[in-house]
Amino acid sequence: MKTKESPHPQWATRFREKNTELRKINGKYYLYSVKSEYNKDRKRSVKKTLGILGSITQEQGFIPSDKKLLKEKVLEIPNVDIKMFGVYNLFRSLLAEEFKSLHEVFNKDTVDILLCVSMFRWSFQAPIKRMQYLHSHDFCSQEMATSGINDKTISSALKFIGENRDAVLRWMRSRLMQDSTISQKQSCDFVMMDSTAVTTVSENLFVNAKGYNPNHSFDEQIRLMYIFSAQRKQPVYYKLINGNITDVTSMKQCVEELVIEKVVFIADKGFYSKKNVEELKNNKLHYIIPLHRNNSLIDYSILLKANYKKEIKNFFLYQERIIWYYEYEREGKKLTTYLDEKLRAEEEQDYLIRTGTHPEEYTQEKFFEKIAHFGTMTLINDLPIEHSASQLYEAYKQRNEIEIIFDAYKNVMDADKMYMQNRYVLEGWLTANFIAMIAYYRLFQRLKQAKLLNKYSPKDIVEISKSIFQTNINNKWRRSEMTAKITAVFKKIEIEYLN
């Protein structure tokens, strides 16, 4: 079959490429961008013109239109000689392992954009529309996504990540496998699972629904389930779930998806009920659950005796405090009751003071009724293998710390609202936020180890890092000056700023 010859001259057709169309208008040649779309009414594909790319002449060849030149200029990184350096250096130092491991599941272009989005969420709580400017004025643009980023490239990368949940799961599993702090032969991993409701008004996600949330809001929501490792003291997993699905319903699937064995779920005080415990048992999930002090399962009889310490006998040291404990079984369940005498004295004193300031609620009669309750905590547990009472106590106390950091992170990141209109872009956005969460927890732990939490929060350190710049002098980048005080702070948390 003979190929149909083009009515246009060769000097014009040689500029025609895929998704372009050559048009002759008033004797002049123009190149347009086009695409094919399916028309439901016509029940066939139709051609749609996207805009002019430029004109073509025999003498000058292709001449880009002003609009095309403007678009290309917008995509270019402006030549900025002073760039913020502190945030990028802090972020990559905290996430050195993740910078490496993410490249094992995604290509460099995708990882670069993902880490940029994560960093700008972590440091500026920035929406996508601000990230092009932030990237061009940050030193990360010298090493990541060096050709520039914009709304379209960000959304495209996030969509690709969201469509590849299996790759994200492989990355999350690899972080667990590479963690040298946990031996493969260790008995089990204590984890805290927590979910948070996120309001969204999008009609295109298909996972948002009206459901329970602490704010009693009737807006549609999605739910994010997180798994935190007590040993690692950081988040290890996240999952987007339907807004009307309860936590217990999702726990088993999350554990199976992450492929971890002998997991022990550490609950909060409001979790215990016979129904919830039965549901955990049916799903073969192990647990540590604190009980309210007025729970009928708790046996306080020993603490009412004058020589209760002699009968209890058992104690351990936790953060320079003596913790007494005794173990027993009730209704086929294992319980451990702990007594912190220092806390007991504080609570007794506080209650007695209130008998004078609030006599309508606090009385001496009620004081003596509750006297065995003061300073106590009771944990009910079902474990794959035996653990000491001190191990259970420490695991639960770590949950408290994780929960405090999680609440602070949500406030700092403004992470209780989402505006994404595409399910897959949302999934990629959540991956970026998850990485930001890891950085936040790592920074918190470094401040804690350096005993600086009484002076600085993670947000304070991020704000300080924003004052550190690099300046391009004679084609060589030089760091801005830092005070001795700030240099000492970064040194204590093992962040180096070399000249």
Model confidence at 67, in pLDDT bands (50, 70, 90)? confident
263 and 182 within one domain = yes
Statement: residue 345 has pLDDT above 70: yes
- Say if CB 17 and CB 56 are below 8 A apart: no
pLDDT tens figures, 82-103: 999 999 999 999 999 999 999 9
- Comparing 185 with 230, the larger pLDDT belongs to 230
d(CA 419, CA 425): 11
For the record, the structure tokens of 332 come out as 């086929």
209 and 111 within one domain = yes
266 and 118 within one domain = yes
At 381 the pLDDT is 94
Give, to the nearest 10 degrees, the angle between helix 108-124 and helix 128-136: 100
Domain of residue 181 covers 77-275+418-499
71 and 122 within one domain = no
At 422 the pLDDT is 83
131 and 17 within one domain = no
Domain boundary among 75, 98, 117: 75
95 and 71 within one domain = no
255 and 197 within one domain = yes
The DSSP bridge partners found for residue 286 are 264
- Percent over 90 (pLDDT), the chain: 48
- Say if CB 91 and CB 98 are below 8 A apart: no
- Torsion over CA: 477, 481, 486, 491 (sign): positive
Q: What is the DSSP letter of 36?
A: E
DSSP notation for 282-310: HTT-EEEEEE-TT-TT---GGGGSTTHHH
- Comparing 121 with 248, the larger pLDDT belongs to 121
At 78 the pLDDT is 59
210 and 152 within one domain = yes
pLDDT tens figures, 4-29: 667 888 888 888 888 888 888 888 88
63 and 93 within one domain = no
d(CA 257, CA 348): 47
pLDDT tens figures, 116-132: 999 999 999 999 999 99
241 and 171 within one domain = yes
63 and 179 within one domain = no
- Say if CB 118 and CB 87 are below 8 A apart: no
- Say if CB 79 and CB 87 are below 8 A apart: no
* Residue 319 resides in a domain: no
Model confidence at 203, in pLDDT bands (50, 70, 90)? low
Max avg pLDDT among 14-23, 254-263, 380-389: 380-389
- CA distances for 187 relative to 163, 190, 392, angstroms: 35, 10, 13
Q: What is the DSSP letter of 187?
A: S
Instruction: Read off the pTM.
Output: 0.74
Model confidence at 466, in pLDDT bands (50, 70, 90)? very high
Lowest mean pLDDT among 120-129, 272-281, 393-402: 393-402
Number of domains observed in the structure of the chain: 2
